[in-house]
Chains A and B, each alone.
Chain A
């Protein structure tokens, strides 16, 4: 396959994830952009194009939210567009930015992901009620937690996984997040805490779920020649993949995310990875629910189907394990401002691959890593492979 330009990430920035009632979405975007530009000594004038990712307009009650966020995202009088693939947006945004640079049209692209969920009162779950099919599903009043409970149940049943093994993911990620300065709900919790938490829709319990958050992330992309002028240690985007399954989620077997596997195969083949289990040093799969991390490890072909809970139980996925998973703390620990949460994973890859992750740094000089997000009606997988 012919790919025109190698694209590098040269800078990254991220706000604290929390309830940010004081700031508007524009201000959150600005804060992340400012940090990203400062991190690579660039000015907004050096940026040729801007790509934005943000999830439902219903959170903010702002129509054309991309247009609204425009100036905060630094896109005044620049080529600017917004991508939107539901929860997959966070990891699709760098792919959207990658198009700009890899196409040869632009040398630099600023990629911004912003989400402000707290303005949706009383709870953003109300906005999620409007994502269902207006004729077939919405009259039933389905809730996101219910449908994920269905998926989780199916996954557990298919592979005969006890709930304890799944809850172990929440324990690990919340603990990993203790080392993340932007984390919202980092905590040293025990397995029993998780199993004792309130049941929301069996088998989903309160501590199985990531929180509602506000936040923004930004990265700066540059073409190869320009990247080498900006920094000595660019991190390359070597593989991108995305894949959308049918709308009719009720008609497919939910135990395995085949769309994630398709997206992963696309990204791996582009990055020249034939054996991801050996060639990937660490991964940041999407973990809005604890079972999703396991589900997505399997989707990313990092282990066999049904094997992820065992690897977790054996400690392989700990930060000092053989295959660290979500060393950042993931969505379960750092927080889940939808689009920004996916981009947080890209930022984590950037910092880890440059050896700048501080206390979160995984051992063994990681060279190749993969980040992934998931969204829509359990339907889309977005995957990015990065190398130092």
Chain B
């Protein structure tokens, strides 16, 4: 007995030494670890959100008026005066969607930003949110507003615009339509994961059903899947699987901790924000999984100190430009093991009343896709849930949620944010 105790003692000692050396090695590598892990970051909260109703067409207002509506709502929600209190503004746009070059020229007036620090990030609104987050972390500003919008109804035909995003030398001459590329990716994903087209239709049904109870969602939430919409437009992608494009505008106001606490008691805190890109060329990227989403969420989780997202995240708003993307993105976010999202979906885990609701708002499939604003809509929905203001689609007792944006075909770029009401 005694001998055994001695052996155990020696074993423990060896283990201790090994752990100590491992610790030293870790310390050695500290210089390669980002600053975020070494020093506490300034706490940044979301103090105001403004979102217009999302509609397929808005002929009675210009994009400026749409944005003005969202801005007025957000500033009223935050209790700030943009001319007096907001110190910096970050906008989101891509020229070709606007039909205007250097669209940055047209952003300041309707958001109250003239003669103030204003910049445009040519990406989804969630990137702009992450940029505003960085601006506050530098200590340069305490209150920053973020804007994104979609006036897609002004675009006569969007397909040729998507085509212009392809590499002009290698891939554009092939005449690959965006939905065709999505169909290829969907096929690959279904093949690898064992999910079926029916699973994807199930995503559509879930999101449309969720959108029923979302006041800001378009009427197409009442849409019944007809045989017509099940025809594939690029096998196995059907019309059903594609989120419809809609108009709208969103403005979000961020504030550093002190300012946030003085503005409201129920600020929603940004725990982490990340963004990343896989290869821009179709030929050299991962097709079976959303690597960009994995990298972006890893960054966000690291800042948020989340080790096990499947347990620590209670609900998610993820990009569902195409139905299969919701499954792929849920896996990339670590909410489901790789290739198992469809199983969780079929078990009802992702339902509004499930264990881990995904897109309780209805997502882009239910609410409509809003180009570069889609990610910011996900953020607004997260905030509403975390404040307990989501109304009929409220998920009970949530504290932490994650949102994911994807920039759409043909990009492999996305952003992720983790928000919490604690």
> A residues touching B (Cβ–Cβ < 8 Å)?
1-5, 24, 48, 55-58, 60-71, 75-86, 92, 96, 98-100, 102-107, 127-128, 130-131, 133-134, 223, 226, 240-248, 258-259, 262-263, 266, 270, 375-377, 379-380
Contact = CB atoms under 8 A, between A and B. Distances in A.
A244 B34 contact: no
A103 B138 contact: yes
Given A3-B140, A71-B279, A102-B137, 15 more contacts: A4-B139, A64-B122, A67-B165, A67-B280, A79-B296, A81-B121, A84-B122, A102-B139, A103-B138, A104-B137, A131-B101, A241-B117, A242-B119, A246-B115, A266-B117
Contacts, number: 207
B178 to A, nearest CB: 11
Interface of B: 31, 34-36, 39, 41-42, 94-96, 99-102, 104-109, 113-123, 127, 130-131, 133-135, 137-140, 161-162, 164-165, 167-169, 274-281, 291, 295-296, 299, 303, 407, 410-411, 413
A174 B280 CA distance: 39
Contacts of B96: 57, 63-64
Contacts of A77: 276-279, 291, 295
B165 A78 contact: no
Contacts of B115: 243-246, 258-259, 262
Contact of B35 (A68, A84, A105, A131): A105
Of the candidates A67, A71, A259, A380, the one having the most CB atoms from chain B within 10 angstroms of its own CB is: A67
Contact of B165 (A56, A62, A262, A270): A62
Given A57-B94, A130-B100, A83 B121 contact: yes
Contacts of A63: 94, 96, 161-162, 164-165
24 contacts: A4-B42, A4-B137, A56-B102, A63-B94, A64-B122, A67-B277, A68-B167, A77-B276, A77-B277, A77-B279, A79-B276, A80-B413, A81-B122, A83-B119, A86-B105, A98-B138, A102-B138, A102-B140, A105-B41, A130-B99, A131-B102, A242-B119, A244-B114, A246-B114
Contact of A130 (B101, B121, B164): B101
A254 to B, nearest CB: 15
Contacts of A377: 105
Contacts of A2: 139
- Best-buried of A77, A133, A242, A379 by chain B (most CB within 10 Å): A77
A92 B119 contact: yes
A78 B277 contact: yes
Contacts of B274: 79
Given A56-B101, A58-B95, A243-B116, A103 B109 contact: no
Contacts of B299: 79
B145 to A, nearest CB: 13
Given A79-B276, A86-B105, A244 B137 contact: no
A242 B89 CA distance: 11
A210 to B, nearest CB: 17
B120 A60 contact: no
B99 A244 contact: no
A80 B94 CA distance: 16
Contacts of A67: 165, 277, 280, 407, 410-411, 413
A245 B114 CA distance: 5
B277 A70 contact: yes
A4 B168 CA distance: 42
B165 A106 contact: no
A60 B35 contact: no
B165 A68 contact: yes
B122 A134 contact: no
Given A24-B169, A127-B101, A379-B105, A84 B121 contact: yes
A107 B39 CA distance: 12
Contacts of A82: 121-123
A78 B101 contact: no
A223 B276 contact: no
Contact of A99 (B94, B105, B134, B276): B134
Contacts of B135: 99, 103
By CB atoms of chain A within 10 A, which of B35, B114, B127 has the most? B35
Max chain A Cβ within 10 angstroms of own Cβ: one of B94, B140, B278: B140
A54 B296 CA distance: 23
Contacts of A69: 280
Contacts of B281: 71
Nearest to A127: B101
